[in-house]
Structure 1
């Protein structure tokens, strides 16, 4: 199986990232309704290419991870938060998610972060298992935080030191 190539996103990746994001939409991880045309641009004022690492297999973009700040506060600037992780369905099981997580850890560390955190829906067992296998631990749970498809779902806060 080929090893995913991880790199910083570029502006030229916008269309492919938008398609990937829409194709991967699922109530397992999404708290927003399924995107409908006309689609919003993938990159915006708040998050641009510099905030995304992308994964390629055989030159095809198959995943991304978005890394940002959990708050705009200077006293919290030593923490980075994973604010999105998507892997194309055809690339799942090929180590893409794990490679993106590891690359995000290294990027966060290179930017001076001491901690990395994320939020995951309580019913997303595959993602939670991946995060736990990469050293993330549950640091808090917001019970019933989201009402998704008629069910109340926990918001699970996870983190780890760098």
Structure 2
């Protein structure tokens, strides 16, 4: 049998597979090995200095330095109180992104009652029973169905 590099059988179906954990030059592995796995995205360049050196005053110990793909409460329609671009507990409730909608009206933010003093829909959240009731009342349901829903949550 023929030997390659004096170590492997050329006809052998068994080959070693290497996994590269760090973004190093893959050229030396490409020349010597038929197959290797990249445990990183070689096309992604992350500026770790700017991301890691950013200090927040919120006392959190976790820093996100990268992301891939879609984020539900950022990239898809979501109720204002679930927005990740404008966190509900850290930003003015009147603020909204292009994907926010009114929790009460189920319409694109801002709705007609977004900033009205008698019931600011921008403050609506699913964690408050009064907003839940107002949301149900705004649905196009029959009176009988609405009463049944109220009985279920009360």
| Fold-level similarity (TM above 0.5) | no
Of Structure 1 and Structure 2, the greater strand share is in 1
Between the two structures, name the one with larger relative contact order (CA 8 Å, sep ≥ 6): 1
- Give the TM-score category using the shorter length: under 0.3
TM-score by length of 2: 0.24
Larger radius of gyration: 2
